[in-house]
């Protein structure tokens, strides 16, 4: 028994099956996590090695080059890039997608351990960090108070707020930024120490030897065992001053005799401000795979609770990823519901009764809910990509059901209801199965898309595939069962015993007892039956009354539609006959369409991805390299005040310098770095404020700056950076590289559309090189190591352990007295003790100022400078074309070359892989259709619809101001699958008519007449289902809008062009086959 027969003859069982699926769907949905984007394991690992006091060239020579070689040998490495900057080497290893990152991490650890022996002894061990854009904070909030000082606020954040928030489910860690950090400063008077022959090393050693906490093992006392704890930790700075440092003539010299110990703020290198006031920032990160929305709600509830508990604390949320998630998902949910409603209205308009549209409309909720079951099983969470797949499938859900219902309706004229349902469903089941799997097959190549794009759209491809399979099953099972429900009579009750069997003596008493026991259940059953029957009757009467009222109100609309459809039908068939008679007209139509495709393609902008919109924008800037933190902070204050004074600005959040320990491990952060987040009022023009911000920055004393839209997780994944235009200039010698950059900048600066043009050739902080007076050192018996150790201790101080207090630890540093950064003359005047004699540092060394570079960037172990800019009022492709043309005239210095990078590099790679995916999709669709028709020629006719859809897709993108990007490219991929569905059904029916004995022309005309209505219904339900996605503009909708526009425009043109071109192509092909058979018959004769 076929599945159609089984469903029709067992409707209750079929309905119960889908009720069970719906229940499982709701359970699955409740257990799916909700995030902005799919969970991805980004294939990047970063190796950070810190070497304080070293310049970029020394970092490159002694650390970066030593690590790059071994790391390049790791399997599946795609690219290695590095940044050597002051005090740190940052190496980023990018792996091919699909690499097992656990093994990659293990190999990276092994290689760094192997290279460790080649690194300087006094550099920190390399740190290995797994990079993932989802590691950005889900909530950034500031902590304010009218009563507490900044120090008290930071203590509250460290001891109260941070522990409370980190206990929340879904929160992995909380980072605190801003405020001052304290340490224990042990400042030794150099003159007193020199007179007593005491060095800083001896002071540090004395502190460490008197600051211990150890376990002494276990000991027995009587019958009991005790654990020994040796307590020798320093509890207060005053305890340090009584530590003996040296014994002279029987008397201990205490540390207090030569210096003091006290709490002191660490040298300030960063600051956080909100609207000009110092503040504390709280950055909250979610667990890997956690639910962002749930975690954010718990954070909000916890912050509200803390505000109530501590009335003097105030929290203000700067950014919150959940807002973007909720806005995006609400928008998609609204698009889903509105699209389903519009599709239902289209069905109502065509079918003009309420029963059949409601039957077809049952497909939408059942397909959506059953999709959640498959999403749960295949670990696809709820995000804007998976929900976008559901919205994309809304219109397509109905296609199969419309075709089945239309076939049943035609057979009902000549057959009984039961037979018409079975015959109609069987007639089209093969065609709709083929069309469904052709649509699903086009999503298979999505997994071959280049880089992050393929991984992001995997969820969308899987969701659409799940929903289409669900809609196919519903169309060939539930829909026939519901359609045939009235044809089924009451089933006979099966008795539990055979009347022919011989009765025994106890049967009669048991039967009486059974009848008595059954009375209450029969009464209860009758009551329930009558109540339910009454409710059903009332509801049915109300439904019929509403249907009659609506039908009466809609009659004018139905009559107008029928008149328009009749006229269109007549015109269409006249045009079709005319084109069939003169097929050259169809050829000219094809030429016009191809010309339109070429013309619109050339006019469209090309970019990698549409930029996400936001009410906030960010600014990054660098002050002059010679500036310290103090001067950088003054510049930041001026810029901040001017930004805040702009009309339409809600708030300005400022980060100056090194604001956190994690920031020091980034190639972008230094004490010269400024970072602003500017929030615009809803009524303000963000582009205008960004332009005004640029003008402010141009008038300030800045080395370089960039203004760009706020970065969130979405833009971190999809955007290459704030600057879309990038050129890498590769070089060997720094000066020649700078010369090449200068020549390029001179040529491209006048190109229209380039803004914020800058180059990474900035000089670094001024560097003083210390050289030794070697002859004098040899005479005195002093080694270079002794002198360098003394300088490092004097300038940076020497760490001598830590003081642990409650939940906080304070580093202990031994140094000479200094306020802030030590002056050069003060350093040169310091006494150096050696073997009881004292020398001054200025006598042992010479000082020379040498030029420096800010950072050295490398890719594939080759140096490069980066030239970058943003693009405004022009498309990136045309700007790059102008730049390529301008650079043809440049003569470059020896051993230098350039290459376009950034978004353009990614775009070219992505477009190449997209073209391959579209080609693969076309081949798969052709193979499925060839297998369905058992014919190699007829699928070629159907594939003719693919280029016909491009003209509509490109026209819609052009008219709406969108570009050709990877999203619209995926829309073309989708169009390949769904654009052929109508042609498949039409060719299939034409073949059936030919098998029934009709001529080619008769079959073509009859198929066109019979299939016109279902083709228009399926097309317009899909189009109207996608209109909300194309029309609604909210945060996150940028990812879905180009796809919807391509499908709408392409499907519209595909439908109307194929109504003409498919019959013409079919007739040409069949006529050729007939003539070939005739020739073969004549030759045999």
pLDDT at 497 over 60: no
Residue 467 lies in a domain: yes
> Does residue 866 contact residue 94 with C-beta atoms inside 8 Å?
no
For residue 775, give the CATH number of its domain.
Answer: 3.30.2090.10
Last residue of a domain, one of 850, 866, 883: 850
Find the domain containing 7 and state its range.
Answer: 1-31+353-487
Instruction: Determine the pLDDT at residue 111.
Output: 92
Own/partner long-range contacts of 767-770 (Cβ < 8 Å, ≥24 apart): 767/55, 767/849, 767/850, 767/851, 767/852, 768/824, 768/847, 768/848, 768/849, 768/850, 769/847, 769/848, 769/849, 769/850, 770/845, 770/846, 770/847
Instruction: Determine the pLDDT at residue 741.
Output: 93
Q: For the chain, how far is it from start to end, CA to CA, in angstroms?
A: 47
Model confidence over 190-235: pLDDT tens digits? 888 878 888 888 888 898 888 887 777 788 877 788 777 777 888 8
- The mean pLDDT of the chain is 82
Last residue of a domain, one of 487, 518, 536: 487
Average pLDDT over residues 305-332: 83
Looking only at the bridges linking them, the beta strands covering 808-815 and 182-188 are: parallel
Same domain? For 357 and 248 the reply is no
Q: 3-class DSSP state for residue 214?
A: strand
Task: Report the b/e string of 70-84 with b at 16+ CB within 10 A.
Answer: bbeebebbeebbbbb
Which residues face 755 on adjacent strands?
870
Last residue of a domain, one of 487, 514, 547: 487
- Locate the DSSP E strands across 589-737: 616-623, 649-657, 673-680, 702-709, 725-731
Give the Cα separation of 463 and 466 in Å (integer): 5
Model confidence over 242-260: pLDDT tens digits? 899 888 877 888 888 888 9
Which backbone phi and psi does 123 adopt, to 5 degrees?
-85, 155
Average pLDDT over residues 124-144: 79
Residue 407 lies in a domain: yes
Model confidence over 451-464: pLDDT tens digits? 666 777 788 888 88
Q: In the numeric block, which tokens belong to residue 301? A: 């509830």
Neighbours of 892 (CB within 10 A): 16
Give the Cα separation of 87 and 49 in Å (integer): 9
Instruction: Determine the pLDDT at residue 452.
Output: 67
Residues 6 or more apart whose Cβ sits within 8 Å of residue 16 = none
Lowest pLDDT segment from 14-28, 281-295, 424-438, 520-534: 520-534
Residues 6 or more apart whose Cβ sits within 8 Å of residue 319 = 137, 139, 140, 616, 677, 710, 712
Give the Cα separation of 321 and 91 in Å (integer): 29
Residue 570 lies in a domain: no
Residue 186 lies in a domain: yes
Instruction: Lay out the sheet containing 673-680: strands in order across.
Output: 277-278, 270-274, 649-657, 673-680, 616-623, 702-709
Residue 23 lies in a domain: yes
Instruction: Determine the pLDDT at residue 803.
Output: 83
Same domain? For 358 and 478 the reply is yes
> Does residue 46 contact residue 668 with C-beta atoms inside 8 Å?
no
Residue (of 56, 23, 46) closest to 854 by Cα position: 56
Neighbours of 859 (CB within 10 A): 17
Task: Report the share of the chain in percent with pLDDT over 90.
Answer: 13
Same domain? For 357 and 478 the reply is yes
Most distant CA atoms of the chain, gap in Å:
134
Average pLDDT over residues 775-791: 83
Q: In the numeric block, which tokens belong to residue 1075? A: 């003539």
For residue 400, give the CATH number of its domain.
Answer: 1.20.1640.10
pLDDT at 407 over 60: yes
Instruction: Determine the pLDDT at residue 498.
Output: 46
Model confidence over 601-650: pLDDT tens digits? 888 887 777 766 778 888 989 888 888 888 999 999 999 999 999 999 99
Residues 6 or more apart whose Cβ sits within 8 Å of residue 1075 = none
Length of the chain, please?
1085
Instruction: Provide the number of structural domains found in the chain.
Output: 2
Give the Cα separation of 289 and 292 in Å (integer): 9
Secondary element (H or E) of residue 378: none
Average pLDDT over residues 818-835: 76
Instruction: Determine the pLDDT at residue 713.
Output: 61
Give the Cα separation of 706 and 697 in Å (integer): 9
pLDDT at 62 over 50: yes
Residue 124 lies in a domain: no
Residue 284 lies in a domain: no
Same domain? For 473 and 357 the reply is yes
Environment class of residue 65 by beta-carbon count within 10 Å: exposed (0-12), middle (13-18) or buried (19+)? middle
Task: Write down the pTM of the prediction.
Answer: 0.73
Tell me the H-state helices in 604-712: 629-644, 686-698
Q: In the numeric block, which tokens belong to residue 816? A: 């000479």
Instruction: Determine the pLDDT at residue 299.
Output: 92
pLDDT range class, residue 862, cuts 50, 70, 90: very high
Environment class of residue 35 by beta-carbon count within 10 Å: exposed (0-12), middle (13-18) or buried (19+)? buried
Q: In the numeric block, which tokens belong to residue 1070? A: 């069949």
Q: Classify the phi-psi angles of 895: left when phi > 0, otherwise alpha if psi is within -120 to 50, otherwise beta.
A: left
- HSE toward the beta carbon, residue 19, CA cutoff 13 A: 6
Instruction: Determine the pLDDT at residue 492.
Output: 34
pLDDT at 854 over 50: yes
Residue 364 lies in a domain: yes
Most confidently predicted of 647-656, 767-776, 1009-1018 = 647-656
pLDDT at 768 over 60: yes
Q: 3-class DSSP state for residue 706?
A: strand
């Amino acid at each position: 028994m076929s599945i159609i027969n089984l469903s029709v003859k067992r409707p209750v069982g079929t309905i119960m099956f889908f009720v069970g699926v719906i229940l499982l769907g709701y359970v699955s949905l409740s257990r799916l996590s909700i995030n902005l984007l799919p969970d991805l394991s980004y294939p990047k690992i970063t190796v950070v090695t810190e070497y304080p006091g070293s310049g970029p060239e020394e970092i490159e020579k002694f650390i970066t080059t030593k690590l790059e070689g071994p790391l390049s040998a790791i399997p599946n490495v795609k690219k290695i890039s590095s940044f050597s900057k002051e005090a740190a080497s940052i190496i980023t290893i990018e792996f091919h997608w699909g690499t097992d990152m656990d093994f990659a991490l293990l190999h990276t650890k092994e290689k760094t351990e192997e290279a460790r022996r080649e690194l300087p002894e006094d550099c920190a061990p390399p740190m290995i960090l797994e990079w993932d854009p989802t590691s950005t904070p889900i909530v950034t909030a500031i902590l304010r108070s009218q009563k507490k000082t900044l120090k008290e606020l930071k203590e509250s954040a460290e001891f109260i707020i941070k522990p409370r928030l980190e206990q929340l489910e879904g929160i992995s860690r909380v980072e605190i930024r801003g405020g001052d950090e304290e340490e224990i400063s042990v400042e030794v008077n150099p003159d007193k120490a020199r007179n007593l022959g005491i060095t800083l090393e001896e002071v540090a050693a004395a502190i460490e030897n008197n600051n211990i906490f150890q376990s002494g093992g276990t000991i027995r006392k009587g019958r009991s065992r005790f654990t020994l704890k040796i307590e020798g930790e320093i509890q207060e700075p005053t305890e340090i001053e009584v530590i003996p440092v040296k014994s002279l003539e029987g008397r201990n010299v205490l540390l207090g005799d030569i210096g003091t110990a006290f709490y002191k703020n660490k040298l300030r290198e960063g600051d956080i401000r909100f609207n000009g006031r110092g503040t504390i920032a709280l950055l909250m990160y979610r667990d890997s795979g956690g639910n962002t929305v749930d975690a954010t709600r718990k954070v909000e509830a916890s912050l509200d609770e803390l505000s109530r508990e501590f009335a003097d604390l105030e929290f203000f949320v700067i950014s919150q990823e959940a807002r973007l998630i909720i806005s995006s998902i609400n928008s998609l949910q609204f698009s889903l519901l509105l699209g389903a409603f519009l599709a239902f209205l289209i069905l109502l308009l065509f079918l003009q009764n309420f029963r059949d549209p409601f039957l077809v409309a049952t497909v939408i909720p059942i397909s959506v809910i059953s999709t959640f079951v498959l999403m749960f099983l295949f670990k696809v969470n709820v995000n804007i990509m998976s929900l976008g797949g559901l919205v994309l499938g809304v219109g397509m859900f109905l296609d199969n059901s419309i075709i089945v219902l239309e076939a049943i309706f035609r057979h009902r004229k000549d057959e009984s209801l039961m037979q018409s349902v079975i015959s109609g469903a069987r007639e089209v089941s093969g065609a709709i199965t083929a069309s469904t799997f052709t649509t699903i097959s086009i999503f298979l190549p999505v997994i071959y898309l280049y880089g992050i794009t393929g991984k992001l759209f995997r969820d969308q491809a899987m969701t659409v595939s799940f929903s289409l399979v669900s809609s196919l099953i519903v169309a060939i099972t539930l829909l026939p069962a519901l359609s045939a429900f009235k044809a089924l009579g009451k089933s006979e009750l099966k008795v539990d015993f055979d009347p022919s069997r011989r009765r025994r003596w106890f049967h009669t008493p048991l039967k009486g007892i059974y009848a008595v026991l059954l009375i209450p259940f029969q009464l209860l059953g009758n009551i329930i039956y009558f109540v339910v029957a009454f409710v059903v009757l009332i509801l049915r009467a109300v439904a019929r009354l509403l249907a009659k009222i609506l039908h009466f109100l809609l009659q004018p609309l139905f009559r107008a539609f029928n008149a328009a459809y009749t006229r269109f039908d007549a015109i269409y068939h006249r045009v079709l006959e005319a084109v069939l008679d003169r097929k050259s007209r169809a050829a000219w139509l094809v030429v016009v369409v191809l010309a339109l495709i070429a013309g619109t393609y050339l006019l469209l902008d090309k970019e990698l991805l549409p930029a996400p919109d936001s009410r906030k924008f960010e600014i990054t800037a660098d002050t002059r390299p010679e500036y310290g933190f103090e001067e950088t902070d003054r510049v930041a204050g001026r810029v901040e005040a001017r930004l805040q004074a702009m009309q339409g600005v809600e708030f300005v959040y400022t980060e100056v310098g090194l604001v956190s320990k994690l920031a020091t491990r980034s190639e972008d952060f230094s004490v010269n770095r400024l970072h602003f987040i500017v929030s615009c009022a809803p009524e303000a023009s963000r582009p205008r404020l960004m332009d005004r911000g640029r003008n402010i920055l141009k008038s300030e004393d800045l080395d370089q700056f960039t203004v760009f839209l706020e970065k969130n997780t979405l833009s971190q994944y999809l955007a290459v950076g704030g600057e879309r235009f990038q050129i890498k200039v590769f070089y060997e010698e720094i000066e020649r590289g700078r010369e090449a950059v200068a020549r390029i900048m001179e040529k491209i600066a006048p190109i229209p559309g380039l803004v914020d043009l800058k180059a990474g050739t900035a000089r670094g902080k001024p560097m003083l090189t210390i050289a030794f007076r070697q002859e004098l050192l040899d005479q005195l018996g002093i080694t270079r190591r002794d002198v360098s150790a003394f300088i490092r201790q004097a300038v940076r101080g020497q760490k001598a352990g830590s003081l642990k207090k409650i939940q906080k630890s304070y580093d202990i540093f031994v140094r000479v007295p200094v306020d802030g950064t030590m002056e050069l003359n003060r350093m040169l005047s310091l006494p150096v003790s050696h073997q009881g004699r004292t020398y001054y540092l200025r006598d042992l060394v010479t000082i020379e100022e040498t030029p420096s570079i800010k950072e050295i960037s490398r890719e594939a172990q080759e140096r490069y400078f980066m030239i970058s800019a943003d693009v405004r009022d022009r498309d990136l492709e045309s700007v790059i074309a102008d730049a390529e043309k301008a650079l043809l005239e440049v003569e470059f210095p020896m051993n230098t070359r350039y290459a376009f990078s950034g978004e353009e590099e990614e775009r070219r790679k992505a477009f190449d892989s997209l073209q391959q995916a579209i080609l693969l999709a076309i081949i798969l669709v052709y193979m499925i259709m060839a297998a369905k028709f058992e014919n190699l020629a007829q699928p070629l006719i159907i594939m003719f619809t693919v280029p016909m859809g491009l003209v509509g897709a490109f026209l819609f993108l052009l008219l709406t101001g969108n570009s050709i990007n990877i999203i619209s490219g995926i829309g073309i991929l989708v169009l390949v699958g769904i654009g052929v569905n109508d042609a498949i059904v039409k060719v299939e029916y034409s073949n059936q008519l030919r098998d029934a004995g009709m001529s080619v022309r008769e079959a073509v005309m009859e198929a066109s007449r019979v299939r016109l209505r279902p083709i228009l219904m399926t097309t317009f339900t899909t189009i109207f289902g996608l209109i909300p996605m194309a029309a609604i503009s909210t945060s996150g909708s940028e990812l879905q809008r180009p796809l919807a526009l391509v499908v709408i425009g392409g499907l519209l043109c595909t439908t109307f062009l194929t109504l003409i071109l498919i019959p013409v192509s079919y007739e040409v092909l069949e006529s050729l086959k007939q003539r070939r058979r005739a020739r073969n018959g004549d030759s045999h004769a």
